[in-house]
Amino acid sequence: MQQLLQEQVANRVQLDILKKANTLDLAFFENPEFYDKMRQAANQSSYQPVSMISQTFDLGRTVVTLVSLIFLLFHLAWWLAIVALIIPIPAFFSSTRYGWRGYQLMRRQSPGRRLMAYFVTLMTTDTYNKEVKLFNLGDFFIGKFWDLATGLYKQDKKLLLRRYNINFVWAGLTVVANTVIYLYVALQAVAGRITLGGLTLYTQTAVQVGQNFQGLLNGISSTYENTLYVNTLFDFLEYQPKIMSPPNPQPVDPPIEVEGLDIEFRDVSFTYPGKDVETQAALKRVSFTIHAGEAIALVGRNGAGKTTLVKLLTRLYEPDEGEILIGGRNIKEYDLKELRAQVGVIFQDYVNYYMTAQENIGVGRVDKIESKELVISAARKSGASAVIEKLPQGYDTMLGRWFKDLKDSTQLSGGEWQKIALARAFMRDARILVLDEPTSALDAQAEYEVFTKFRELTKGKTAVFISHRFSTVRLADRIYVIENGSILESGSHQELITLDGRYAQLFNLQAEAYR
């Protein structure tokens, strides 16, 4: 029974945590404090609630017994009752104090324990294993893991030993006190002031009062300790997302003549949390307009701010200043889900899902995940179909080698994974499509093909393409050169070449290499 209840509670807690995580902003997931809370919530609160329930029952029972015993003892010898009640109190205070310390220690150790878990992942996951092997990092990580483990163990041991020793002292004192009571009552019997029957009654009641009271105090102190742990769960569940849908969201009403939506950035500035606004802003007063149906390319060095621009467009972050408009309305006025349904993005760090090929593409539009027809057509567009058709079970082949045996699963190359990820974008029925360097692992030929297909298929839609390859960039209607969080130049390929600025410089650099 207890076990079933335990499992049920653990599942519910995990479910609540997942649901909460599902509502929170991306910024939370880039904050170590958040991870500590989440870990504490998940680890500590799964069994604590169950033990709290059984403890409450125990406490109730103890209180009833205790009250009747005290009543009896007061009748026999009131001072005995008082002594029996005083004895367990110091142990109670010490136990509560150590409970609090233990809880504090758990919180302090949380980052260390997360780091340990991280080293375990590094050492035991296929994606990291080749580098760990080739750089000979195994012993290095194992050493770090073990240092942490022994350090934390020492802290635990220190606290537990202290707690144990103090408990031992208090237990000894209780024995002494009880002995004194026995002696006293025995002397009274010897002196003939009480009968032999009275002797046993007195001592037994006194001891039982003492024991029950101690039980009660122990119950209170461990309930207190459990409450501390369960509170971390409530703390976690109290996190509120900052980016939310407005109370009365406006509908996205697209123009009739084109399929796309226009995008406008007005003086948008943004600095990542914890970074300096003056010197480390990711975007500085960026303004531009993309008309519905245009295909735009963004170019610029690593760290220029291209991905940040896309994150703001999809409201993963909120701009610090300025406005972003889609379809003529500030994106804050739309329902978040609807906004994101209008924008299909494949980021440079897209996800390889360890699921079937069908599901990997289908998640691009999860309500149609079962539709073979849509998935196959999306796969054709991105060039993934050629990869998938060669797989043993075709679209039902498990990708990644974690969950199915070797015969029924496969691992893909970087470029092949990218084609699968790109198919997700084609699966999506969005009016704005953004590809953020998801073609970097494709060979130049494949990227060119993807882009021309992308262009054909997104005709009428608004398309944003981020790439370092000028062979594809030059096909865009307009190109924005981003540098240090600002737009440096913009125009068509020809215009920018004529301008002979940064774009021309970067273009010539790349062309040079191919000559």
Ligand X SMILES: Nc1ncnc2c1ncn2[C@@H]1O[C@H](COP(=O)(O)OP(=O)(O)O)[C@@H](O)[C@H]1O
Can you give the binding site for ligand X, defined by CB under 6 A? 30, 272, 275, 282, 300, 302-308
Phi, psi of 334 (to 5 degrees): -90, 155
| Nearer Cβ to Mg ion (226/308) | 308
The one of ligand X, Mg ion, none whose footprint includes residue 305, by CB under 5 to 8 A per kind, is ligand X
Least CB distance from residue 149 to Mg ion, whole Å? 37
Least CB distance from residue 440 to Mg ion, whole Å? 10
Both tokens assigned to 195: 């009968």
* Burial (CB count <10 Å: 0-12, 13-18, 19+), residue 111: middle
Least CB distance from residue 31 to ligand X, whole Å? 10
Instruction: Write down the H helix ranges in 135-254.
Output: 138-190, 196-237
Binding of Mg ion at residue 307 (CB under 5 A)?
yes
Least CB distance from residue 168 to ligand X, whole Å? 51
In whole angstroms, give the CA distance from residue 183 to residue 372. 87
Q: Which stretch binds Mg ion (CB under 5 A): 147-155, 189-197, 304-312, 426-434?
A: 304-312
Restricted to residues 443-462, the positions that interact with Mg ion (CB under 5 A) are: none
| Nearer Cβ to ligand X (304/420) | 304
Residue owning tokens 């262009």: 455
The one of Mg ion, ligand X, none whose footprint includes residue 272, by CB under 5 to 8 A per kind, is ligand X
Region of 322 (left: φ > 0; alpha: ψ -120 to 50; beta: rest) is left
In whole angstroms, give the CA distance from residue 348 to residue 334. 26
| Nearer Cβ to ligand X (275/459) | 275
Least CB distance from residue 300 to ligand X, whole Å? 6
Span between the terminal Cα atoms of the chain, in Å: 75
- Where does 347-425 show beta strands of DSSP type E? 398-399, 409-410
In whole angstroms, give the CA distance from residue 474 to residue 455. 12
Least CB distance from residue 462 to ligand X, whole Å? 19
* Burial (CB count <10 Å: 0-12, 13-18, 19+), residue 32: exposed
Q: Which stretch binds Mg ion (CB under 5 A): 32-40, 306-314, 328-336, 505-513?
A: 306-314
The one of Mg ion, ligand X, none whose footprint includes residue 461, by CB under 5 to 8 A per kind, is none
In whole angstroms, give the CA distance from residue 43 to residue 47. 9
Q: Which stretch binds Mg ion (CB under 5 A): 257-265, 278-286, 305-313, 338-346?
A: 305-313
Residue 418, CB-side half-sphere exposure with 13 Å CA sphere? 18
In whole angstroms, give the CA distance from residue 122 to residue 127. 8
| Nearer Cβ to ligand X (381/478) | 478
| Nearer Cβ to ligand X (136/302) | 302
| C-beta of residue 278 within 8 angstroms of C-beta of residue 293 | no
Least CB distance from residue 173 to ligand X, whole Å? 56
In whole angstroms, give the CA distance from residue 340 to residue 313. 9
| Nearer Cβ to Mg ion (212/307) | 307
The one of Mg ion, ligand X, none whose footprint includes residue 458, by CB under 5 to 8 A per kind, is none
Least CB distance from residue 464 to Mg ion, whole Å? 12
Could you tell me which residues come within 8 angstroms of residue 148 by beta carbon, excluding any fewer than 6 positions away? 112, 115, 116, 119
| Nearer Cβ to ligand X (227/269) | 269
| Nearer Cβ to ligand X (163/284) | 284
Q: How many residues interact with Mg ion (rule CB under 5 A)?
A: 2
The one of Mg ion, ligand X, none whose footprint includes residue 141, by CB under 5 to 8 A per kind, is none
Least CB distance from residue 328 to ligand X, whole Å? 26
- Residue 249 DSSP class: P
The one of Mg ion, ligand X, none whose footprint includes residue 19, by CB under 5 to 8 A per kind, is none
Both tokens assigned to 241: 């997302």
The one of ligand X, Mg ion, none whose footprint includes residue 303, by CB under 5 to 8 A per kind, is ligand X
| Nearer Cβ to Mg ion (66/310) | 310
| C-beta of residue 378 within 8 angstroms of C-beta of residue 426 | yes
Query: Contact positions toward Mg ion, by CB under 5 A?
Result: 306-307
